[in-house]
Amino acid sequence: MLHSVPLSLALSVGIFPAVFYVLIDRLPPIWPTSKKALMIGPKHPESRTSIECPYSYIRQLYGKYHWAPFVHKLSPGLKDEEPVKYKMILEIMDAIHLCLMLVDDISDNSDYRKGKPAAHKLYGRSETANRAYYRVTQMLNATVQRFPNLAPFLMQNLEEILQGQDLSLVWRRDGLSSLPAAADEKLAAYRKMASLKTGALFRLLGQLVLENKSADHTMTILAWCSQLQNDFKNVYSSEYAKMKGSLAEDLRNQEYSYPIIIALEAPGGEWVTKALESGSPHNIRKALEVIQSETVRTACFAELKSSTLAGYEPRLLEHCQTFIETISISEGKTLEVTSLIGEFSWDSMGILAVGKPSIFGPGHVQEAEEMKSLARFACLLVWSPWPIILLRNLPVMRNATVRWIEWCKRTVEERKKEDLSYDLFSYLIQDSDSSLGHPEKATHQDLVFDTELAVFAGSDTIASTLNAILFFLAKDPEIFNQLRREVDAAVPFGCTLSHEALAGNPYLEGCINEGLRICPAVMSGVPRETGPEGATIAGVYIPPFTIVSVPTYTMQMDPRNFPEPDKFIPERWSSKPEMIIQKEAFNPFSSGPYACAGRPFAMMEMRLLLATVVRNFDLDFPPGREKQSFETLGGTGPLDCFTTQIPCYHLVFKRRRKA
């Protein structure tokens, strides 16, 4: 049950391209092509007037009620509790969305829609436009008559949609002269247009279902990601081009999109300007080379990654608040920090992976603790994997492993029974659905293994770094107070935290980087094989198929790379750059194609939790433990168990004293 819509409707995530909004993928113009015969003209002339034909045609292309999953997410009980309202909302959304596509196809003079002839090519431009206006007017009248309380939402958002449509048409008519000159202002103008044209459509749904505007922020994020996805498909997807009849339809129609605006400022951007002005085949071909360049792609996908990540923020903020409430119950008492942070990280991974924190809550930690215990031994097998064949049948290993795999299987089964949600598993489950036409299907066993990977790679790793940072903050009050001052300056005490306000603050970034440097999530690095040709590294030949690695901990604690490596010095990342000799040696998330895909989510999680803690509590060690060192914590210091494990330590959390 969703108790707080703006928080509980926070969307995935994300981390592109592995994680994206599955529900967006189900919306036009991205649905799989219908295999049913298309109706050109009325099936039953006696019951359907000719004015309905273009709308019936495009609706048959997409099917009815494609917004239903969103409605269910906003209000799971609406379909059963208020079936008439439920159906009315879906009819409204179908009408607005599909009629917008009818008009868009006319404006673009599109030949195809979903690989079939566009409606105006069959019925004529005038008849198709008239049908779109007729259907929208029909739904507005029905809303006023049957649900007058919903009519203001419909009229307001219709006005915004048409404002956005008008902006788009003016830009096409007047060209670049109608857009601001500065690059950032162009992007801001485009985002404003999308917020009106696409954003109002998504906000309309939230307002109709909830009868208020509490979900507007979340729906606007989703709308922007939907706009970006369609913009990218228009210039990067050959499959999309087949359905529309040509690649880069926006460019050919002298329309603007996010990649096109980015490309205007990229090397070779003059070709994009020429293509928008003349539209000759040569100019379009040269412009496409610029738009599809690595520079433009990187900038575009960075925006998409940032936008999808923003969807997680409300859920993480809610989770941070729960963490603070948990600590407040035992305020002033000695608390075991490692277990607190461990549970926080597990539940954060639940938000990312399956859309809810309770799946990895305290009731499920037993299986994980058993696997962590085995990991202290099994980490040795990373470098000598063949003994696994001998050891895997030992009762102690077999029983714990079976319990763990069974838990992963239960998690997958429970998640598959639920309605689609905005999380990693919604994407993975979609990929395993044979009805979606993917060339390579993920099997049920794949999903189980992905559960294992998500849990360990996404929770244990962040917990170790957070534990290290909190230890050093408690150890040095000066560092703690400096961090608090920076956080207070970014977000005044009493105001709501936001990731946007925290990201980029140098001292906070320095604290996180120092935690990652001193206590990387994977100390030994990730093993790699040299391949059939072997490898020559630094003049040394390494034979074929040899396992090699660069230990992250050793590299980041080498004084030749970082002077005074044992000291926690956040300033080395900002005001004391001389304390970094080889910045390339800082590699906590690995690099290249196998780099950690969860880095953006991990950074957001750490920023939000650390800011939440320093704003609300003072940290102290229990009496008699003030002099303990991180290197000898628990008698061993941090343990390399493939993922780093921090020995148990305790802190006293006291409510922040008023200034």
| Residues paired with residue 541 on neighbouring β-strands, in sequence order | 536
| Statement to judge: residues 258 and 322 lie in one domain | no
Token couple for 252? 């050919």
Are 153 and 207 spatial neighbours (Cβ–Cβ below 8 Å)?
A: yes
What's the pLDDT score for residue 2?
32
Within this chain, do residues 200 and 333 fall inside the same structural domain, yes or no? no
Q: How far apart are CA 108 and CA 127, in angstroms?
A: 16
Residues 137 and 34 in one domain: yes
Same domain, 296 and 329: no
d(Cα 350, Cα 328) in Å, to the nearest integer? 23
**Integer CA distances (angstroms), 550 to 461, 519, 547, in order:** 18, 15, 11
Helix (H, G, I), strand (E, B) or coil at 655: strand
**3 state DSSP class of 383:** coil
Calpha distance 25→11 (Å, rounded): 14
Say which amino acid occupies 466: L
Amino acid at 72: H
Q: Cβ contacts of residue 246 below 8 Å, gap of 6+?
A: 111, 252
**Final residue in a domain of this structure, among 310, 334, 356:** 310
Q: Are residues 334 and 230 in the same domain?
A: no
> SS3 sequence, 365-377?
HHHHHHHHHHHHH
pLDDT in tens, 371-409: 666 666 666 666 666 776 676 677 766 676 677 677 777
* DSSP secondary structure, 248-299, as one string: -HHHHTT---HHHHHHHTSTTHHHHHHHHHT--HHHHHHHHHHHTSHHHHHH
Q: Report CA Rg, the chain.
A: 28
Last residue of a domain, one of 310, 331, 351: 310
On whether both 251 and 319 belong to a single domain, the answer is no
Q: How many CB atoms lie within 10 A of CB 354?
A: 24
DSSP 433: -
Q: What residues pair up with 548 in beta bridges, in sequence order? A: 528
Read off the DSSP letter of residue 650.
E
Residue 648 marked ligand-binding: no
How many domains does the chain divide into?
Answer: 2
Last residue of a domain, one of 275, 310, 345: 310
Residue 655, φ and ψ in degrees, nearest 5: -55, 140
> What span, in angstroms and rounded, lies between the C-alpha atoms of 461 and 523?
10
Range of the structural domain that residue 544 is part of: 313-655
Distance (Å, rounded) from C-alpha 320 to C-alpha 66? 34
Query: Are both 225 and 317 inside the same structural domain?
Result: no
3-state secondary structure 518-542: HCCCCCCCCCEECCCCCEEECCEEE
Residues in the chain: 659
Partners of residue 654 on adjacent β-strands? 618
- Residues contacting 536, CB < 8 A, separation 6+: 542
Q: d(Cα 150, Cα 161) in Å, to the nearest integer?
A: 17
Q: Which residue type occupies 605?
A: E
Structure tokens at 354: 């399956």
Query: What are 292's two structure tokens?
Result: 């599809």
DSSP type of residue 457: I
Clarify whether residues 91 and 180 are in a common domain.
yes
Report the half-sphere exposure of 42 (CA within 13 A, side-chain side): 9
Q: How far apart are CA 644 and CA 509, in angstroms?
A: 21
Packing angle of the helix pair 599-616, 337-354 (nearest 10 deg) = 130
Instruction: Give the per-residue pLDDT at 641.
Output: 79
Q: CB-hemisphere CA count at 13 Å for 615?
A: 23
Question: What pLDDT sits at residue 416?
Answer: 60
What CATH number does the domain containing 473 carry? 1.10.630.10
What is the model's pTM?
0.69
Does residue 195 contact residue 220 with C-beta atoms inside 8 Å? yes
- CA gap 618, 478 in Å, rounded: 12
The pLDDT of residue 634 is 87
Q: What angle do CA 142, 146, 152 make, to 5 degrees?
A: 75
Are both 437 and 567 inside the same structural domain?
Answer: yes
Under DSSP, is residue 474 helix (H, G, I), strand (E, B) or coil? helix
Residues 248 and 357 in one domain: no
pLDDT at 34: 35
Distance, in Å, from the CA atom of 340 to the CA atom of 572, rounded to the nearest integer, reads 29
Q: 528 phi and psi, to 5 degrees?
A: -135, 160
3-state SS, 170-209, equals HHHHHHHHHCCCCHHHHHHHHHHHHHHHCHHHHHHHHHHH
- How far apart are alpha carbons 497 and 123 in whole angstroms? 53
Q: What angle do CA 171, 168, 253 make, to 5 degrees?
A: 75
Which position has the token pair 């660069």?
A: 550
Q: Same domain for 283 and 331?
A: no
8-state DSSP, 382: G
pLDDT in tens, 91-141: 999 999 999 989 888 887 888 887 788 888 888 899 898 988 989 999 999
Residue 12 has a pLDDT of: 33
Across 428-450, b (16+ Cβ under 10 Å) vs e yields bbbbbeeeeeeeeebeeeebbeb
In which residue are the tokens 């436009």 written? 129
Please give the distance of CA 511 from its chain centroid, rounded to a whole number: 24
Low-confidence ranges of the chain (pLDDT < 70): 1-52, 241-246, 350-385, 388-389, 391-392, 396-398, 400-401, 404, 411-460, 593, 658-659
Q: 323, 403, 349, 341: which is closest to 371 by C-alpha?
A: 403
Query: What's the CATH code of the domain at 158?
Result: 1.10.600.10
Do 523 and 548 lie in a common domain?
yes
CA–CA dist 196, 213 (Å, integer): 15
